[in-house]
Chain A
Amino acid sequence: MLLYALKRLIQGLITVWFIATATFLAMHAVPGDPLSGAKAMTPEIRKNLEAKYGLDKPVSQQYLIYMGNLAHGDLGISFTQKNREVNDIIREHFPVSATLGIMAVVFAGLGGTLFGALTALYRNKWPDTVIMIAVILGISVPSFVFAAFAQLAMVKINGAIGFSLLPVAGWGSVSHIIMPSLVLGLGTMAYLTRLMRSSMLEIISSDYIRTANAKGLPPTRIFMKHEMRNAVMPVVTVLGPAIAAITTGSFVVELVFAIPGLGRYFVQAVQQLDYTVIMGTTVFFGAFLVLMVILVDLLYGFIDPRVRVS
């Protein structure tokens, strides 16, 4: 198990290296550079600045320098924000994004398994129909639409009851987390619900559930101990990619809800060609997601004993 985890970690490092290299090349392929901004500058000033930031060197050399720094954990200094290290930006704003993302994943995972199990238990009855219609909506409507509708609804509700039940936007307290994480997790939850439903239907008609019935076990025990654990397997499998989907999706939701997460810096950096911030956030997110996928794979081994051995 330990050896397996180590192997996966090394594989993950290679993946991160690939992500970094690809981003670096793509970034430099975009016309312009961080200095081709709004302010007009004389060629002399520009030359000085290029020399200061190392932009006058060939791309291959820049790449080696960056990789060297990356290996030391130094992501460099932002081009557009005065004297701000990329490490500081991440340290300051990633916890916000992570909180939001984790809440959204928890919400999506719990909701998905619960609703999925419900639809399977009430197959072809009204709870199934209602939930499945909601699922189709959740999968097909993008999160920023839900975000806007959720804000509008909250404004109306707060107005109707006369006090602020949940804040419409912003960040700071627990109540600020609820709505954005719900909105952020909705699409994934819908997807997981559908997955859980088909998985559960398969389990319900399996031989070992028949055996459990023949043993005279009460339905709740069969549901909890026999059906859920086996049915949740495919859900756990896609949890890794789901975390990826949620954290990348959070850029938009953060913007709509005015949340000071990392996503905003990422989008800004791309627009301003702030090389170090683009690289920093991409590599960081990449590493985070790779780690999540590895964790999920290890978790899988705990749930399914058959995976542990092989």
Chain B
Amino acid sequence: MPGPLDGPVTGTPRYPVIDTDPHAFRVVRYFRPRDYATWATVTATVPAAYYVWGRFDPLPRLPGRANRILYTLAATMGAMGGFLMAYQDSSKRFWGWSENKREQELDRVEMTRKIAEGKPLYGESPQPEHMQQIAAANSRHSQLWFAVLPWFNLVNHPYHGDFAERYKKESKDTQE
């Protein structure tokens, strides 16, 4: 994480922006191995923290079933938390908030292929346009509030910024 005074206070992203509101499946597809490692680590850490706390300040014996429920709950919460953390990390790269060279390349390949195939860049949605707008307004930057309420973009709307236009231009230049 950059320090508070690390860089100018401009609000502009430090790296090229790929997508301001990436679809949830796209965010997961672009996970790096490090994100999976984060997910696994957090999944293991929560039950481990509960176990260590129990060793540190032991609780009286509980029935086996109770322990099973407690560890399952801890591991489930850890898995959910780990996924959210990995999702945040991946989203930051889409927004250009952290280093995203690999994602730029993946995005370039994906978008160029879609342009060549004549497919819509961000998929098609059965929702009417105004619903897509509402979905986009609700899900944009919702990762910032994951600590309270996880909210994912599950709608294929066209409101992702104009960052894919460069690929269209490149493709047109190549064809010419």
Asked whether A and B interact, the reply is no
Q: Which residues of A contact B (CB under 8 A)?
A: none
Interface residues of B (CB under 8 A from A): none
